Structure 1
Amino acid sequence: MTTVSRISRPLRTAARRAKRSWIGWAFVAPFMAAFAVVIVAPLAYTVYLSLFRQKMIGGNAFVGVENYTQQLTNPVFWDALLRVSLYMLVQVPIMVAIALAAALALDSARLYAARLFRLAIFLPYAVPGVVAALMWGYMYGTHFGLIGNLDDFFGITLPDPLSSNLVLASIGNIMVWLTIGYNMLVFYSALKVVPGELYEAAEIDGAGAFRVIRAIKLPAIRPALGVAIVFAVIGAFQLFNEPNILKVLAPNAISSHFTPNMYAYNLSFAGQQYNMSATVAILMGLITVVVAYIIQRVAARKEA
């Protein structure tokens, strides 16, 4: 083997590796371009807006973290955050518990008309959130809706679901009704892949139905439970459509800062305070990421 051939072989190998590398980048380039345009660019622009402030004299001026400091000391922001946190702490466990119970009932193979039961629970998920809010808002009405009709028929006065004390629970009821079906299918799909040998061993040991659920089914679907809880928490922090639509029916109970997303929306489109709106959006994004990360860590630790 000549000296030239010994030198050229590594060069040809390096060239082939570089070519394969560029081929790989060519395949992922369409996704990376879409990701940059749809995700990275809007996020970067939002961060940019949050670092500036429009002033009457001087125009758009760089203020650093001053917008963040102002919002973190703003009682309006904390009021909205605490309200949506309370909503999350109540709505998410109720939704997960009902969806899990429905999935376990389907998986038991003892449920009569199981297909009809599954369809009935999943059907609300096919209803758009805006339509669901309008529909439930009509039923909540004390003068024209279901509550009002029941009051007239029985001659009683039921509590107003859209009052200040009950409106958050009423919104939670809408979201539970909407999301049970999807999460039920997630849990049911996870239950269907549990190895049959585990059930056979439990039957030989004489384990009852509740022991099987506690010792086999729940540990087997723990990853699915963790994913469902994370997505439910993210959805709770993003609460916007339902209170924004019901605000027309309950203007005294639902304020313009009822949730952080409503607060950011009204800062931007009603108050023309785009910089503050961007600041609230970034803060809520960071809070959501931290909470979701904590939940994932807790779930991973229990799984280990």
Structure 2
Amino acid sequence: MTVDDEVVAPMRSGAATVPDEGGGRAPARKSARPKPALPYFLVVPAVVLFLAFVVAPGIYALVLSFQARKVSGGLLGRGSTVVFAGIDNYLAVLGDVELWGATLRMIAVAAISIPFTVGLALLFALMLDVSRARLTRFTRLAIFVPYAVPGVIATLMWGFLYLPATSPIGGSHIDYFSSVGVFFSVGNIAVWGATGFNMIVIFTALRALPPEIYEAARLDGCSEFQMAWRIKAPLVRPAVVMCTLFSTLAALQLFNEPNTLRPLSNAISSTWVPLMKIYNDAFVDSDLSQAAATSVVFTVVTLGVSFVAARLIQRRVSR
């Protein structure tokens, strides 16, 4: 190789060289490119909204939870001042029998809605994934449409279906608003509205499975039911677990359904679930400090339940 070839070869290979102190050649350092600022600029609106509507109200509620309003003055004049209450509000929350009753009612509705929501979503997804299924697009849309209906509108619709005077589903013979039946009535609305979303999640996971698995199962003589029960359902377990977690979080936020049905039923009080209790304390009794303390406790419990459920689910899926 000549001297010219030694010079041209690195240029052809794309590696620029510079002479070093010893007379040889060393690879040139690439110039450092400045990092683009556009990604950070696009994230700014989301960060601002998060700080303004999540972090700031949370800090304000935490501050309110340690305060109390002290009424002063006699018959001629009456006023109130804000004083530091310490943990008195939290002690009152932990000893609130009405709040514990609301929590038990929320758990009862969750015990009804979560299994039915996830179970029906899995069943519908497996049925739509059968090779001989017909009108799958229309069926998927029909099952998903209730999720797009606002919760208040859906609750009003079901409320009129439950009322004896307007019910076409046996409301004159079945008391949907009895002390026991009201739990199933509220849970049914939650199931009706959330099944479609969970079904889409599980169905998408089924579509992502490799078709070779189904072909091998058919060659082994497996029926559609055997493939659904022994192959498809175990393989989409992560999606089922994620839907269960979503349903659990939705059950902890139960508010629209019982609050909308309350004018139609005497079995639903103004403090029927924890969020209704918080709303009643804040905007009916004007006890913002007590409502703030309850909100903080409820938020901590919700985060704890979510964290524990996520860890348990992750361990179960990884097995």
TM-score tier by shorter-chain length is: 0.7 to 0.9
1:116 is aligned to 138
Specify the alignment match of 2:234 in structure 1: 219
Offset at 1:28?
Answer: 3.4
Provide the rounded CA distance (Å) in 2 between the counterparts of 1:225 and 1:49: 39
Candidates 252, 262, 265, aligned match of 2:279: 265
Q: 1:172, CA displacement in angstroms?
A: 0.7
Structure 1 residue 23 displacement after superposition = 7.3
Q: Quick one: distance in 1 between partners of 2:132 and 2:291?
A: 52
Q: Secondary structure at the match of 2:292?
A: helix
What is the match of residue 161 of structure 2? 139
Deviation at 1:176, TM superposition (A): 0.9
Output one character per residue of 1:108-129: Cα deviation in whole Å (capped at 9) or x when no partner: 1222332332222122122211
Task: Give the match for residue 92 of structure 2.
Answer: 70
Contact 2:109 2:183 in 1 (8 A): yes
* Structure 2 stretches lacking a partner, 5+ long: 1-19, 22-30, 73-79
Q: How many angstroms does 1:199 deviate by?
A: 1.6
Partners in 2 of 1:134 and 1:242 — Cα distance?
9
Match of 2:297 among 278, 283, 296: 283
Q: Which has the higher helix share?
A: 1
Greater mean deviation of Cα atoms: 174-183 or 56-65:
56-65
Match of 2:113 in 1: 91
Q: Which residue of 2 aligns with 1:7?
A: none
Q: Is residue 202 of structure 1 aligned with residue 202 of structure 2?
A: no
Render the CA deviation track for 1:55-81: whole Å, top value 9, x for unaligned: 214721222322112111111110001
In structure 2, what is the Cα distance between the partners aligned to 1:143 and 1:164? Answer: 19
The residue that corresponds to 1:177 in the other structure is: 192
Distance in 1, Cα, partners of 2:240 & 2:87: 37
After superposition, give the CA deviation of every residue in 1:233-278 in whole Å (9 maximum; x if it has no partner).
111111111111111111x200111010110001111000111111
Distance 1:275 1:146 in 2: 45
| CA distance 1:159–1:34, shift in 2 (3 Å) | same
One of 289, 306, 311 as aligned partner of 1:297: 311
Percent identity for Structure 1 against Structure 2: 37
Contact 2:108 2:183 in 1 (8 A): no
Higher-Rg member (1/2)? 2
| Equivalent pair of 1:244/1:262 in contact (CA under 8 Å) | yes
Structure 2 residue aligned with 1:230 = 245
Structure ranking higher on relative contact order (CA contacts 8 Å, 6+ apart) = 1
If the length of structure 1 is used for normalisation, what is the TM-score? 0.85
Alignment RMSD: 2.3
